Structure 1
């Protein structure tokens, strides 16, 4: 293995990659860190974590959150990153090299990444649509005199933005006497419970202008303005990654850092607004009774798994481009701290503005709170429209949403391209082949995403969002990953591999997390989730039967590959179905692969491979520890 890029560089000298151009490496550690940060820090930090914190007891939610983070999130995050760095392979071939019978784990992750590549970019299309409309004054979602508005639309002037209009002796109650929950959009996607309730202009813009749902919720009639926004999002994504990590590593310098600039600007603007302090109090005020609610723990675990992008193969792909001796242990700890700190900080940004919105409307903050697209495309735009200079703040906000989602999207596409390239290295590592591969991925995913921007696309979007990369799927994969590394490959052997890479053994608790704690927590959480009774989404206009069938298929499709690929090596070569590839460097091959309390559980399974050791001696000299 060399540091040359795949395009015309040296060829691999052993194993299945023999005769194929060698894989590339990150040009610097900064590019790796920014790419990882861009993937794990995304829209979920802004529109999901603050709402979950508010919903599940305020500050007390941080207790289950950090329990899941320390005992599930960090161990799996580090495991996947170290696996990629150790094997220098994408998600599928990394597991094949570690343990042939676990190749299905990589395939399952690959299917989930395909789901993400198809539906996640639709959010970017919405963001582009809103960004384009943000340059109008007044903002098109702030008034009720547009062609998409109905008689049910009810607008309101802002006291803060128009202080001269509101005098103490004036009676403007007819503009603000609607204080029921139906007036303020409080759902995640759409509100279909009462089609005759009063609606805000922001809600009507979202439902009647952006989504444009028809009575039959047809998937065949595509909204071509949204389709063009989706195409633009794919064009931007393609040119960010078409050259592989050579282009990805440069783009993330902007896409991963600029959202922080905008978050800081929005934070200081939000905290100077009236009512901001009350909003922050609602965000953090602890409700100790929530700590015993299993649903709170389930929400915490789900947030950790989604926020840290584990069990999707993305971390393995990004780690695979590291130098062998990169200190991935230190990198992972730093990235985990950054991710959680960003989530907590984003809560201040969101709730300071929602507190102002509640203050300006004269209602409780419970009536303006929202999560998901409901926060990004209804609640927050409403708050921005109440500010002086609303156009400027709207442009700033939707540009931040676009960049937050963009780097997560193109890293997902990068991981998919990496996995496919590593499956067919001789064919796809040749000059010019990668550009074609990424183009094919972009075109196919764009075409598959068109139904999501149709009249009934929001229903399909929510089903894929809820069950494509569902908590059940991720928890199931996490169990197999940790059990596979700890009990099949051997926790001690993997520890020695990490020591060989970074120069020292990681914190011992990680080993016992992989062995016992992480799979146990994941299994119990999954069982509780299943015990809730198959909570598939049912709409008035979608038969529950079809929602259940589609949701079940989305969950089962990736997971079915795990048992299938266990049977393949069992039929072909059962004696070697757990034997790692001889290409992998084993610095302590003479030591037991697993010990517990100084007792040998599994003995050593082989002696050092001299050819591999000699090949890696030069690599270790060129890549000193601590790089």
Structure 2
């Protein structure tokens, strides 16, 4: 059966951008910029983008395009012993990240409906943690399933299933061409609306005012590289799969540059709305901005709802904001499911429709644990282990395998033959030495912190049984899938150009 292809490079670009732009672009980047020197944070951020993000994105595009396959197939074509690495990437993202990511999207969907009547009242913090999540005292106390979250979860998985079920052209490409312009339009509404609020300029000043003294702190640079790595969906196996659907003549470097700059530009743009609203909130309550700025979950589900209760038309503003989060999350969710579906189809020749249905049912069932009263605690632990250890290790191994056990200069020649922007030998050096070194430093820093003090104040038992073992279970599944016999001849067909 012929491999599906994108109908156009524009469709591919929108899908890749959709995968890259997620919830973290709206809340995590803005907070990092504020915490790490405002406008000065752009220096390490752009440095990380140019020296690690774009080179690694080009590498994943190149491997997927030249080897013509999903991550497991691409690695199997490089060397049979490396197939497990591709499976680990797609298993980590589907049976790890997607399980709890879908729950966060479900929260956003619930809050979209809550916004119309400002259901959180005068105390968004108590509403979110005590009434909505009803967070239990420990990860061991699962408690009951929160039905509002479960209903949202079903809607998220159903929407993702429908898009992936319809295939590359009629599903993912078409949806991306609708979702991405919609997201940009909704974000533009938020930005221009927020700029009209009293105190908006105070928030913007805090967002962009450079504090160059903070650049002396190594943590600022580590966070910048971490943000770039995760915001571009690197190490997920997604970009490898998406690039495999490109035709023979495709502008690899041009598409990588556009994906990276659109993604990072969106983060900067969305940050305007985030901090303009926080500035309004500080002005309305007569507090310093630092007292209303909270990170990640608190920003979206506590600080922002409180601001919406204070502003005129806040219910509509809230609806647009949470719809933005739903759209951004859904576009990323689709890419995670597709990366795994593509891998199974490549190896086992499974029919896409039934496979997608089965995967999404399993995913929904696996997500339910994160919709319990202990769900937030499980989410925190699993996210920490999978993103700080699993995906970083995948990134390191990706660079080492392709940089040292594959003919990197020939891969560069393949890219240069079909791309608008030519790569030099410097790219080889970044992939072989610089990027893995940076990722190893991030890994070592996280490991040192976690050994010194248990992450998040959780018990060692919870961290081991939930975090470490979830990571190892996905690794075991990767080896099982890698050692199953191939039911297709895809792994015997080399690449487009190299032999």
Contact 1:124 1:233 in 2 (8 A): yes
Note the aligned Cα RMSD (angstroms). 2.3
Give the superposition deviation at 1:559: 5.5
Deviation at 1:349, TM superposition (A): 1.2
Residue 331 of structure 1 and its aligned partner are, at CA, apart by 0.5
Asked if the contact 1:491/1:514 (under 8 Å) is kept, the reply is: no
Which has more helix, going by share of residues?
A: 2
Of the candidates 441, 447, 460, which is equivalent to residue 365 of structure 2? 447
SS at match of 1:310: coil
Q: In structure 2, what is the Cα distance between the partners aligned to 1:53 and 1:77?
A: 23
Correspondence for 2:447 among 505, 530, 535: 530
Counterpart of 1:168?
none
Give the corresponding residue for 2:270.
Answer: 346
Mapped contact 1:84–1:317 kept (Cα < 8 A):
yes
Aligned counterparts of 2:240 and 2:448: Cα–Cα separation in 1 = 32
Report 1 or 2 for greater relative contact order, CA contacts < 8 Å, sequence distance ≥ 6.
Answer: 2
Aligned counterpart in structure 1 of residue 109 of structure 2, from 128, 138, 146: 128
Q: Is the 8 A contact 2:341 2:356 kept in 1?
A: yes
TM, length-normalised to structure 2: 0.92
Deviations 1:418-457 (A, max 9, x none): 11111112xx1xxxx2111111111111111111111111
> Taking structure 1 as the reference length, what is the TM-score of the superposition?
0.74
Distance 1:509 1:214 in 2: 51
Which of 188, 194, 205 is 1:264 aligned to?
188
Shift of 1:309: 0.4
1:473 Cα deviation from its structure 2 partner = 2.4
Per-residue CA distance 1:158-186 (angstroms, 9 max, x = gap): xxxxxxxxxxxxxxxxxxxxxxxxxxxxx
Larger radius of gyration: 1
Deviations along 1:387-412, one digit per CA (max 9) or x if unpaired, are: 11122111111111111111111111
Equivalent-residue separation in structure 1 for 2:37 and 2:424 (angstroms): 32
Report the CA distance between 1:93 and its aligned residue.
Answer: 0.8
Q: State the 1:232 CA deviation.
A: 1.2
Q: Which runs of 5+ in 1 are unaligned?
A: 1-20, 144-200, 573-579, 590-607, 609-627
What is the aligned partner in structure 2 of residue 459 from structure 1?
Answer: 377
Of 150, 159, 173, which residue of structure 2 is paired with 1:249? 173
Task: Give the corresponding residue for 2:128.
Answer: 206
Residue 558 of structure 1 deviates from its aligned partner by 4.7
1:32 partnered with 2:12: yes
Q: Does 1:322 align with 2:240?
A: no
TM-fit CA distance, 1:31:
1.1
Q: 1:536 to 1:497 in 2, by over 3 A?
A: farther
Cα distance, 1:484 vs structure 2: 1.5
Determine the structure 1 residue equivalent to 2:142: 219
Match of 1:142 among 111, 114, 121: 121
Instruction: Specify whether residues 439 and 384 from structure 1 end up closer, same or farther in structure 2 by C-alpha distance, changes over 3 A only.
Output: same
Q: How many residues align?
A: 490
Structure 2 residue aligned with 1:48, among 23, 28, 37?
28
Q: Give the aligned partner of residue 494 of structure 2.
A: 584
- Which whole-Å CA distance do the structure 2 matches of 1:281 and 1:109 have between them? 40
CA drift of 1:531 comes to: 2.4
- Counterpart of 1:257 in 2: which secondary structure? helix
Q: What secondary structure is seen at the aligned counterpart in 1 of 2:407?
A: helix
Q: 1:215 to 1:450 in 2, by over 3 A?
A: same
Q: Could you tell me which residue of structure 2 aligns to residue 437 of structure 1?
A: 355
Q: 1:590-609 deviations in whole A, cap 9, x for unaligned?
A: xxxxxxxxxxxxxxxxxx6x
Tell me if 1:512 matches 2:429.
yes
Q: Does 1:285 align with 2:209?
A: yes
Q: What is the Cα deviation at residue 568 of structure 1? A: 7.7
Q: 2:411 aligns with which of 494, 517, 536?
A: 494
The equivalent position to 2:468 in structure 1, one of 538, 548, 552, is 552
Cα deviation, 1:347-379, whole Å, max 9, x if unaligned, reads: 111001101100110001111101212111111
Q: Measured at CA, do residues 536 and 240 of structure 1 come closer, stay the same or move farther in structure 2, by a change above 3 Å?
A: farther
Q: For 1:451 and 1:501, locate their aligned partners in 2 and report how far apart those are by CA, in whole Å.
A: 46
Aligned equivalents of 1:452 and 1:525: distance in 2? 27
Instruction: Give the match's secondary structure for 2:225.
Output: helix
Other-structure match for 1:229: 152
Query: For residues 491 and 130 of structure 1, do their structure 2 counterparts lie closer, same or farther at Cα, with a shift above 3 Å needed?
Result: same
* Structure 1 equivalent of residue 307 of structure 2: 383
Measure, in 2, the Cα distance between the counterparts of 1:277 and 1:103.
52
Distance 1:445 1:214 in 2: 23
**Between 67-76 and 313-322, the greater mean CA deviation after superposition:** 67-76
Q: Give the match's secondary structure for 1:252.
A: helix
Gaps of 5+ in 2: none
**Distance (whole Å) between structure 1 residues aligned to residue 420 and residue 492 of structure 2:** 22
